[in-house]
């Protein structure tokens, strides 16, 4: 694990950076997740390392790199998201503000155990999303703008790389018993519903803006493209997310997708 800082200039990246514009807008909506969840993850990790026994030296080191990776992810996505707002998508801002406030509330009112379980829920979604992006979306990514696609490749490959950190932290702090497993599932389901609800709502607003002034035929074509993307991601994600439910789930056993190592080497 290491920190990599790609230098990507988004100034001329089109909003619809892939041939399927609804696919691009769905990922543009996802891009608001790291902008708000990752500062939260950093705060959760900083609180956790204060109470994690010093004897877990390796995990402490990994948490440090995890924090530094998430800070870079957040920064680059914030730059990309500002580009979206500047190009006419100020409609994102009120939905983002509500989403950001949720994390402030979690930090203020929820237990460390909840916040770590929620963080692990997000991380297990992230490493599944990385495999989906690298393995199941080639036809959607063909002909896309390389700068936007590489932002996602870099981020998701690093999500895959640090996939065990939150999981190991959760296990070290809360053990392997039945309640520990059930509470991990609770964190996962809460994260899925919360993050999935936010991104779906935001994507719908952004796509609705794109649909203003479309003819009936254009609207139908847009609907078909959105469904094609959603069906693909749903199918590709479900088989991986189902594994997270198992009491024997361990992200370390997930196999890196072809192309991840080369991509990370490019930015190392």
Return residues touching Fe ion (CB under 5 A): 70, 73, 159
Closest CA to 156 of 120, 196, 128: 128
Provide DSSP, 88-102: T-TTHHHHHHHHHHH
Q: Considering beta carbons, is residue 159 or 168 the nearer one to Fe ion? A: 159
Q: What is the nearest approach in angstroms of Fe ion to the Cβ of residue 56?
A: 19
Phi, psi of 213 (to 5 degrees): 80, 5
Q: What is the nearest approach in angstroms of Fe ion to the Cβ of residue 163?
A: 8
Q: What is the nearest approach in angstroms of Fe ion to the Cβ of residue 66?
A: 7
Residue with CB nearest Fe ion? 73
Q: What is the nearest approach in angstroms of Fe ion to the Cβ of residue 215?
A: 39
Q: Considering beta carbons, is residue 207 or 260 the nearer one to Fe ion? A: 260
Residue 236 and residue 136 in contact, taking contact as beta carbons nearer than 8 Å: yes
Q: C-alpha distances in angstroms, 159 versus 87, 136, 208, 226, 245?
A: 28, 17, 30, 26, 19
Q: Considering beta carbons, is residue 20 or 131 the nearer one to Fe ion? A: 131
Q: Considering beta carbons, is residue 21 or 39 the nearer one to Fe ion? A: 39
Q: In whole angstroms, give the CA distance from residue 8 to residue 147.
A: 6
């Amino acid at each position: 694990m290491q920190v990599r800082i790609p230098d990507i200039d988004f100034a001329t990246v089109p909003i619809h950076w892939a041939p399927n514009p609804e696919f691009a807008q769905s990922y543009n909506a996802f891009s608001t997740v790291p902008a708000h969840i990752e500062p939260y993850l950093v705060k959760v990790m900083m609180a956790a390392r204060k109470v994690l026994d010093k004897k877990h030296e390796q995990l402490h080191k990994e948490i440090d790199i995890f924090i530094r990776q998430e800070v870079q992810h957040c920064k680059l996505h914030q730059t990309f998201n500002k580009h979206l707002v500047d190009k006419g998508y100020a409609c994102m801002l009120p939905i983002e503000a509500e989403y950001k406030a949720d994390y402030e509330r979690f930090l203020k009112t929820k237990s460390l155990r909840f916040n770590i379980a929620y963080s692990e829920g997000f991380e297990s979604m992230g490493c599944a999303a990385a495999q989906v992006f690298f393995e199941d979306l080639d036809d959607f990514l063909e002909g896309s703008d390389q700068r936007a696609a590489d932002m996602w490749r870099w981020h998701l490959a690093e999500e895959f790389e640090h996939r065990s950190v939150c999981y190991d932290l959760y296990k070290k702090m809360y053990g392997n018993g039945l309640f520990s497993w059930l509470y991990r599932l609770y964190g996962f389901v809460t994260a899925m519903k919360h993050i999935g609800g936010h991104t779906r709502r935001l994507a719908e607003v952004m796509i609705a803006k794109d649909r203003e002034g479309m003819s009936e035929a254009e609207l139908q074509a847009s609907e078909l493209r959105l469904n094609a993307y959603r069906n693909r991601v749903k199918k590709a994600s479900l088989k991986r997310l189902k594994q997270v439910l198992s009491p024997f789930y361990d992200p370390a056993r997930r196999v890196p997708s072809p192309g991840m190592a080369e991509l990370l080497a490019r930015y190392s």
